[in-house]
A and B are shown apart, each in its own frame.
Chain A
Amino acid sequence: MTRLARKIARESSFYAAVITLVTFAAFPFYWMLITTFKTEGDLYNLRSNPYWFNAAPTLEHLRYLFEDTLFVQWLWNTALIGVCVVAITLAVAVPAGYSLARTPGRSGENLGIGIFLTYLVPPTLLFLPLSRLVSDFGLQDSLWSLVVVYPTFTIPFCTWLLMGFFKSVPREIEEAAIVDGCTVLGAFVKTVLPLSVPAILTVIIFAFTLTMQEFVYALTFISSSDEKPVTLGVATDLIRGDIFYWGELMGAALIASVPVAIAYNLFLDRFISGITGGAVK
């Protein structure tokens, strides 16, 4: 009997630990979710139980968000910035990663590490001088400033990722194409690129999510509401004076978070493999 009791004790403490951890991680999102749909009266009532609805859930906050704020504009801005940054990143990182992967000797590896290290240089170090540069180039207060600056952190990481990937593609394939009459560039385009679709997809997702997450540069460069990406707009514009529109805020936060969360979950393993330099497959 004691064996069974011990087993039950072990299992229940295991599940208790799991539930505690998951709650710690996910509670703020539950909080976001429920705040979005609660009526104002319900939200700002100290007496009611905050964990569940005390009045019927409402779509009022979401309606306000979509109709009376610039939320949709912000989403559109973010999408536009994202697409442009991804395009620039691919155009720069793919050739760079390939070149580094095929450079013989240690210099390729070292240069690759060098570029990867710039990922560690934080926006908080560069935002001040960059803000001067941005205004000198007349991009102040425009989302194009972000399109220009964001690749500084997407390119290093994506080059590193792609370098690791291209290294794993056997040279024989390209050599066969060259023998068959292609130029070096042609061989790359015709043989390596088609094989690289999963890696390129990963790069696209990462560049996009890294872009979506960014806050510091957006905060520094942009003040006009209709140029703001969603991470900035939600944090600054949904507050009138000292009043926080919590229902709308949480709704916006939730909607903007969902795609990023899904993307991360799908591509987690590759991200980790990239960050640890391929030590973990």
Chain B
Amino acid sequence: MTAIAVIAPRPKSRFLLDRPELVGPLFIAPAILYVFVLVALPFFLAIYYSVSAFTIFDPSYRFVGLKNFIDVIDSDIFRRTLINTFVFTIGAQIIGLLLGKFAAMLLMQEFPGRGLARALVVLPWAVPVSLATLAWLWMFDSLYSVINWTLVAIGLMDPAHRWQWLGQQDLAMIAVTVVHAWRLFPFGVVIFIAGFTSVPKDVLDAATVDGAGFWRRNYQIILPIIAPIIMIAVIFGTVFTFTDLSVVYLLTKGGPINGTHVLGSLAFQVGILSGDVAHGAAICLFLFPFLLVAVIFLLRALRRREI
């Protein structure tokens, strides 16, 4: 005869926190709420504004359909801006990531001072955008540019005709691209090093035993294996550059004569400085299709990351 223990009935609320079905969603609710209110909502608001004629001088909502988009596309400045955005992005990725890969291979060798070198190489990416850009602004100064001084001293530049890095269209394009590439390349270095070191040693040894030399090992074995990681880096880098506002705004303010604007800085100039929220929002929305493509690629790369 076994005695059956009698358990005193407990109030239901005691077990509330014991139920994963409740605790789970409860824990995640604030995050979802935040993201919804401050990301999703503004996004829809942007669409809302872009089909209105909202300005801060006349903040009434009047539906104008796709008029703003047509206005924007018709503008020469906008066309130039769109081209610039792509040029800077692609240019900076190519330079930045190539440099990054090259630097990664160098920094993986053992040599005295490697730790210091690595710390210094990371600086451009680590430091706040605005502060780093200010340094470059000073370096590109119309009168006192250290770059110009050096070129004059070497004899490659005529002191009477100094290059106006930020005042001439072509030079300004180069300057912006260089600053972007400079900011991007440490990111590339770190990602490449991380990728290289993630390849299992056995696979590398097998390739050596199988007769693969340095180049074949790199391009036929290592690169395909770390491709998903590199993809993720490229996507992030591209998005950072494409959606940039700070570098262009601080370096050239979009000049000379609106020649170096990117979508972000143009939207700022139109939407905030000039108060034309509607057209500003329309410009912003041109970022969206590009982001969608990036997200799709990122998702694919994330799914493939466990090879």
Contact = CB atoms under 8 A, between A and B. Distances in A.
B243 A124 contact: yes
Interface string B293-306: 01100110010011
B121 interface: yes
B294 to A, nearest CB: 6
B175 interface: no
A128 B23 contact: no
Interface residues of B, number: 99
A26 B123 contact: yes
Contacts of A278: 305
A250 B157 CA distance: 27
A91 B33 CA distance: 13
B19 interface: yes
A261 B190 CA distance: 15
B113 to A, nearest CB: 9
Nearest to B239: A120
Contacts of B213: none
B243 A256 contact: no
Contacts, number: 281
Interface in A228-273: 231-232, 234-235, 244, 246, 249-250, 252-253, 256-257, 260-261, 263-265, 268-269, 272-273
A25 B144 contact: no
B34 interface: yes
A213 interface: yes
B270 to A, nearest CB: 9
B27 A132 contact: no
Interface string B211-254: 00000000000000000110011001001000111100110000
Given A21-B106, A128-B49, A277 B39 contact: no
Contact of B128 (A130, A183, A212): A212
A41 to B, nearest CB: 13
A133 interface: yes
A26 B43 CA distance: 38
Interface in A1-31: 14-15, 17-18, 21-22, 24-26, 28-29, 31
Q: Which of A31, A128, A234, A277 has the most CB of B within 10 A?
A: A128
A281 B197 CA distance: 9
Contact of B31 (A18, A24, A92, A280): A92
B263 interface: yes
A216 B239 CA distance: 15
Interface in A29-53: 29, 31-32, 35, 43-44, 46, 50-51
Interface string B28-56: 10111011001101110110110000000
A256 B131 contact: yes
B27 A277 contact: no
A185 B19 CA distance: 10
Given A99-B26, A100-B28, A265-B122, 5 more contacts: A24-B99, A24-B182, A155-B34, A268-B122, A273-B194
What are the 6 tightest A-B residue pairs by CB atom distance, in nearest-first order?
A: A264-B126, A95-B27, A122-B243, A96-B31, A129-B45, A124-B264
25 contacts: A14-B109, A21-B99, A31-B146, A92-B31, A95-B27, A102-B24, A111-B28, A113-B299, A118-B35, A123-B243, A124-B245, A125-B284, A127-B268, A127-B272, A127-B284, A129-B46, A130-B38, A130-B42, A132-B49, A133-B42, A155-B31, A159-B31, A246-B138, A260-B128, A264-B122
Interface of B: 17-20, 23-28, 30-32, 34-35, 38-39, 41-43, 45-46, 48-49, 99, 102-103, 106-107, 109, 111, 117, 119-139, 143-144, 146, 149, 182, 185-186, 190-191, 194-195, 197-198, 228-229, 232-233, 236, 239, 243-246, 249-250, 263-264, 267-268, 271-272, 277, 280-281, 284-285, 287-288, 291, 294-295, 298-299, 302, 305-306
